[in-house]
Chain A
Amino acid sequence: MNDIAIRAEGLSKRYRIGLKQEKYKTLRDTLSQTFTAPFRRLGSAFQHQNGHRNSSIWALKDLSFELNRGEVIGIIGRNGAGKSTLLKILSRITEPTEGYADVHGSVSSLLEVGIGFHNELTGRENIYLNGAILGMKRNDITRNFDEIVAFAEIEKFIDTPVKRYSSGMYLRLAFAVAAHLQSEILIVDEVLAVGDAQFQKKCLGKMDEVSKGGRTILFVSHNLVAVQSLCSRAIWVQDGRAIEDGQPGLVVANYLKTATTSIGERIWDNPTKAPGDDVVRLHSIRLIPQGTTVDLMNTRTPLVIEIQYWNFRQNTELNLSILVHNHEGICVFSSNSAGEETWHGKPLPIGLFRTQGHIPGNMLNGGVYRVSLLVIKDGSNLVHRETDALVFEILDDVKNGNGWYGKWQGVIRPKLHWSTERLETVSDTAMQI
């Protein structure tokens, strides 16, 4: 009996029009194109139009791998590297353009928790509905019902419509159903990125338990800590190809090494095409180290993150948030502009604005950091999310090391104010006791 769970050979997926998603057509367009096509062809014969419209991208190109039974494999890579496309193909949501994959045994995919949940239905009803969508048999759901409810910790609210649930309860219930899937191969996408820390811990624990049960798991995540602790193997995907395949610690380390091409500033010159929407668009984001250059920042260097943006609408309430992640993928801190001093979160008039955030020195530890920027308007509308807008490296400050040359422990490296006082003198008689 062979031990292979999944064997992929030359998997490739092409998307047309250079878009990640193909744009849908309308009947109207198709009809009008059919009628105008002869004229356009005539026109293009004179104009020598090139075939820009037919451009395509390979989201996945010639990816091959073998996955053994019981292996827990982590797929890492940047956004748009092809990870999600790979999962979608293996989950049979979309077909490959070329190549094939042989899947041995039953597969469940968990690309999102709570698929098909309906707000009007009760917790109990949603468990059955969601279970059926994930491919569970009704008997299986009934058999696991109490366990699912217990895992989600919603016993009291099981017959309440989920629209009255808190977001935490909702997530717990959604994950609980998925956690009780009985298939031999489990395909999991970034589901752990949601929920609070306690919930994440619970999910990771469950994943660990599942993998120890001998089932095969394919796991995509940006959480490199989770990949290293859960997986027995990691594949690093970039531009639709597998760059490296091996022991997770090594693959993650190599991934981080090349991923650290510093980005100290980004500028978008065109106010009609810059990231954003009709209300607000980004002009630039820049890292300004105080008193040194970008190459020589160390743990003592105070940093300024400067964001320039156009506001095109009178009285826009804007909130800029930054999330700073370290090389392990841990969010070191997040901060937003709500406490900013000049405008106090008041609506902005039309114009080009500059907002600066000051990161004090003696706070970040040495290492590589990625800054993501979120632009939020009107309190809760996400206008734009620029993931990894800035990437920079902070060098260890050797001077402060005090003879210690290893890496300083800890996520942050604050310079604490230490003090020592002599409280009282100790007499000779006391010392003799």
Chain B
Amino acid sequence: MEAKFAIKDQINFNSMRGADHIKVLRIEPSKGWVPLKVRELWEYRELVYFLIWRNVKVRYKQTALGASWAIIQPFMTMVVFSLFFGKLAKVPSDNVPYPIFSFAGLVPWTFFANSLDLASKSLIGSAQLITKVYFPRLVIPIATVLSGVVDFAVAFLVLLMMMLYYGTMDLSRMIWLPLFLLLELVTSLGVALWLSALSVEYHDVQYVTPFMVQFWLFATPIAYSSSMLSEPWRTLYGLNPMVGVVEGFRWALLNTHTGPGAVIIVSSLAALAILISGAFYFRRMERTFADVV
């Protein structure tokens, strides 16, 4: 055991010696738009991992309900939606039982909504880190959004169980699901970057976010189906990238006919635009974070 460590040390030592050229870093004022520095971000992937791990661990340790919290939130919303929209208003649900129709939308939605809410508070909550140590600041919103994946996985298991219960389990399109998951991640991260960068400059963004999320919920086909819209409006509707995510989830899991096509393409482009602009905006604002936060 000890010998093994000794050899490892030796190798590290040699590789350090081998790299005789010393990296020179210039610290100077930056102006305007700055590069994203994706490579540096990649070097800090372990920090992202540890922050996700901390967020998940602390949340599950501190809340009495722990993992069940991840289920209760979308599940209760589903019950309410099923009662009011499904039973009373009789909203059409693409020939799928309404509870599972809405839950399939609520699972990705909850991930999105929680991402935005937590991201809008993430930088202010990490003021101690930001003012005391250097690391690429993008790490914080990225870790915040990715922390939600655990809750998402738990809720997704419930969704699968519901599919079994309602007998709508059909895995033929399941292989496409990762694509929609990716679209969801891109969307969530993009909006999260905008909100977190804005929240440092304007501290009330964290209070505005819940309202925004509320409006966005009804602007997304969760309680209803986008098939209620006729073309070209439905395609245009895809400018809200969550439309693509939710309809994609339903198409892949519930075999609805509101399949991919123009809507998904529009949503993907919109999501990418939000992510890229968000990342650059974040980097631009980043230089003042430590002074303002």
- The finding on whether chains A and B are genuine partners in a shared complex, rather than unrelated, reads yes
Chain A, interface size: which category?
35 or more
On whether the beta carbons of B134 and A109 are closer than 8 Å, the reply is: yes
Stretch of B78-86, B185-193, B199-207, B277-285 that contacts chain A? B199-207
Q: Verify if A102 is at the interface (C-beta below 8 Å from B).
A: yes
Question: Which of A1, A105, A138 sits near B46, CB closer than 8 Å?
Answer: A138
On whether the beta carbons of A27 and B205 are closer than 8 Å, the reply is: yes
On whether the beta carbons of A94 and B291 are closer than 8 Å, the reply is: yes
Q: Verify if A414 is at the interface (C-beta below 8 Å from B).
A: no
On whether the beta carbons of A132 and B128 are closer than 8 Å, the reply is: no
On whether the beta carbons of B129 and A115 are closer than 8 Å, the reply is: yes
Say yes or no: A95-B133 contact (C-beta < 8 A), given A129-B50, A143-B5. Answer: no
**Residues of B within 8 Å of A, CB-based: how many?**
45
Stretch of B19-27, B104-112, B260-268 that contacts chain A? B19-27
CA distance A355 to B121 in the complex (A): 45
**85-111 of chain A: CB within 8 A of chain B:** 88-107, 109, 111
Measured between beta carbons, the chain A residues less than 8 angstroms from B49 are 132
Q: Verify if B8 is at the interface (C-beta below 8 Å from A).
A: yes
Question: Which of A26, A89, A98 sits near B203, CB closer than 8 Å?
Answer: A26
Measured between beta carbons, the chain B residues less than 8 angstroms from A90 are 27
Stretch of A120-128, A239-247, A289-297, A330-338 that contacts chain B? A120-128
Closest chain B residue to A131, Cβ basis: B50
**CB of B292, distance to nearest CB on chain A (Å):** 5
Q: Verify if B9 is at the interface (C-beta below 8 Å from A).
A: yes
Measured between beta carbons, the chain B residues less than 8 angstroms from A93 are 130-134, 290
Measured between beta carbons, the chain A residues less than 8 angstroms from B5 are 143
CA distance A230 to B272 in the complex (A): 53
On whether the beta carbons of A118 and B27 are closer than 8 Å, the reply is: no
Measured between beta carbons, the chain A residues less than 8 angstroms from B87 are none
Residue from A89, A115, A133 with most neighbouring chain B CB atoms (10 Å)? A133
**CB of B165, distance to nearest CB on chain A (Å):** 36
**CB of B103, distance to nearest CB on chain A (Å):** 32
CA distance A147 to B242 in the complex (A): 50
Stretch of A17-25, A74-82, A309-317, A396-404 that contacts chain B? A17-25
Q: Verify if B172 is at the interface (C-beta below 8 Å from A).
A: no
On whether the beta carbons of B23 and A28 are closer than 8 Å, the reply is: no
On whether the beta carbons of A28 and B291 are closer than 8 Å, the reply is: no
**CB of A189, distance to nearest CB on chain B (Å):** 9
Q: Verify if A137 is at the interface (C-beta below 8 Å from B).
A: yes
On whether the beta carbons of B133 and A103 are closer than 8 Å, the reply is: no
On whether the beta carbons of B203 and A91 are closer than 8 Å, the reply is: no
Closest chain B residue to A128, Cβ basis: B50
On whether the beta carbons of B133 and A96 are closer than 8 Å, the reply is: no
Q: Verify if A205 is at the interface (C-beta below 8 Å from B).
A: no
On whether the beta carbons of A26 and B57 are closer than 8 Å, the reply is: no
Measured between beta carbons, the chain B residues less than 8 angstroms from A91 are 133-134
Q: Verify if B173 is at the interface (C-beta below 8 Å from A).
A: no
Residue from A1, A91, A109, A116 with most neighbouring chain B CB atoms (10 Å)? A116
Question: Which of B28, B29, B62 sits near A120, CB closer than 8 Å?
Answer: B62
CA distance A129 to B128 in the complex (A): 14
Q: Verify if B73 is at the interface (C-beta below 8 Å from A).
A: no
Measured between beta carbons, the chain A residues less than 8 angstroms from B25 are 102-103, 107
Measured between beta carbons, the chain B residues less than 8 angstroms from A99 are 28
Q: Verify if A30 is at the interface (C-beta below 8 Å from B).
A: yes
On whether the beta carbons of A25 and B24 are closer than 8 Å, the reply is: no
Q: Verify if A153 is at the interface (C-beta below 8 Å from B).
A: no
CA distance A95 to B8 in the complex (A): 38
Binding site for B on A (CB under 8 A): 1, 15, 21-22, 24-28, 30, 88-107, 109, 111-112, 115-116, 118, 120-121, 125, 128-129, 132-135, 137-138, 143, 184
Given A100-B27, A103-B25, A105-B23, 12 extra CB contacts under 8 A? A21-B292, A22-B291, A27-B202, A27-B204, A89-B27, A90-B27, A96-B27, A111-B132, A121-B54, A133-B50, A134-B133, A135-B47
The 5 closest A-B pairs by CB, nearest first: A100-B28, A92-B134, A27-B202, A132-B50, A101-B27
Contact sample, A vs B, 27 pairs, CB 8 Å cutoff = A22-B291, A24-B202, A24-B292, A25-B203, A27-B208, A88-B290, A91-B134, A92-B27, A93-B131, A94-B287, A95-B29, A101-B27, A101-B28, A102-B24, A103-B27, A104-B22, A105-B23, A106-B23, A112-B132, A120-B61, A132-B50, A133-B47, A133-B50, A133-B133, A133-B135, A138-B46, A184-B22
